[in-house]
A = this chain, B = another copy of it.
Amino acid sequence: MAPTSGKRRVTITDVALHAGVSTSAVSKVLRNAYGVSPEMRERVRAAMAELDYRPHAAARGMRGRTYTIGVLLDNIRNAFFADILEGVNTELRGGDYQVLIGAAGFGEEDQTRLARALVDRQMDGLILIGPGFPRTEVLRTAATVPTVVIGHHDVAEEHDSVVDADALGAGLVIDHLVRLGHRRIALTSTPGNRGSGWSGTPERVQRRGYHEAMRRHGLQDLARVAMTAFSEEGGYRAGMELLASADRPTAVFGGADVAAMGVFRAARELGLRIPEDFSLAGYNNTAVAALAPVRLTSVDQAGGLMGTTAARLLLERIEGRTRSVLMTVSPSLVVRGTTGPPPATEV
């Protein structure tokens, strides 16, 4: 058994005794419930302060709320998630709720296990960021506890959704590159074994947007997509595949900033200068993109806004809203140093 050495916790009973009232009364004060006179409220408050009382969340969880919100994500290394979380924290700061994050990894089983763990720990609400476990499992979870899904474009009665207009975002990049004079523009994307049942993963919608934009510019025959993982290494391999080929693209749109970094490495290794010989754009506008040695043109998704929105929607759901809501935020292009006109020989 854990050595809980220290003295016993101060409980609601201690407070009640100290204030000379019933535990019910203390509980009411605690929850701002109806049926307490101002004087009693004051007396109880004083007693709580005097004894340095803090309610035991686990015990509260047995009957009512735990005042805890769980966030599930695959990997905290993804800087975009940090933006979202900052938004969530901003919205919830000062309120009664605490945010606890679970980093599940990319495995389907691990994610499922974490999701269940969050439910078992009696979270009052869940924010799932780009969940990679089966949709049916998500829906089952969402039927039990208020849930907001961030990223996937699939909507459902059971949960709210906060998404980025990814098709539009992809369009922004293509428009920008075409305007610069590029025609052979490739995309790196990921098959995304994101569990089963999701038809609207961000990467898929982004891909759709890419193809639409290429078609819009009459470049559909030049469209080319390299599928790998959204990671530095994945981007590198995709970059190698694309740039070593005969009719090599003059620009690559990395579907995620990390992947773009990998493409960058491939380009450098092949002796291509950026942006003189080759243009590169990313997606998500994570912190790296802005770094002085990087200066990557990218698409900003307003992660902070997505976070605050998700938190607000979740609170509403906890308070009882049942109609589901879809919130779409629109992306914007941030042009930096990695995109420029294609080399003269290509025009």
Interface on A for B, CB 8 Å cutoff? 1-6, 54-59, 61-62, 64-66, 68, 70, 75-77, 79, 81-82, 85, 89, 93, 98-103, 105, 110, 114, 116-117, 120-122, 124-125, 143-146, 232, 261-262, 264-265, 268, 287-288, 290-294, 296, 317-318, 320, 322
CA distance A322 to B59 in the complex (A): 27
A146 touches B3 (CB 8 A): yes
Chain B residues, Cβ within 8 Å of A262: 292
B56 touches A122 (CB 8 A): yes
Shortest CB-to-CB span from A114 to chain B, Å, is 7
The 8 Å CB contact of A77, one of B54, B61, B79, B232, is B79
Chain B residues, Cβ within 8 Å of A322: 3
A114 touches B98 (CB 8 A): yes
A99 touches B99 (CB 8 A): no
CA distance A61 to B110 in the complex (A): 23
Chain B residues, Cβ within 8 Å of A4: 144-145
Query: What is the predominant secondary structure among interface residues of chain A facing chain B?
Result: mixed
CA distance A62 to B146 in the complex (A): 24
B77 touches A122 (CB 8 A): no
CA distance A1 to B120 in the complex (A): 18
B6 touches A261 (CB 8 A): no
The 8 Å CB contact of A121, one of B68, B144, B232, is B68
A82 touches B89 (CB 8 A): no
B292 touches A291 (CB 8 A): no
B65 touches A62 (CB 8 A): no
B102 touches A100 (CB 8 A): yes
CA distance A58 to B56 in the complex (A): 10
Question: 24 A–B contact pairs at CB < 8 A?
Answer: A1-B320, A2-B125, A2-B146, A2-B318, A2-B320, A6-B143, A57-B58, A57-B117, A58-B62, A61-B61, A68-B121, A76-B76, A77-B82, A98-B114, A99-B103, A100-B102, A232-B287, A232-B290, A261-B291, A261-B293, A264-B292, A288-B288, A288-B291, A293-B293
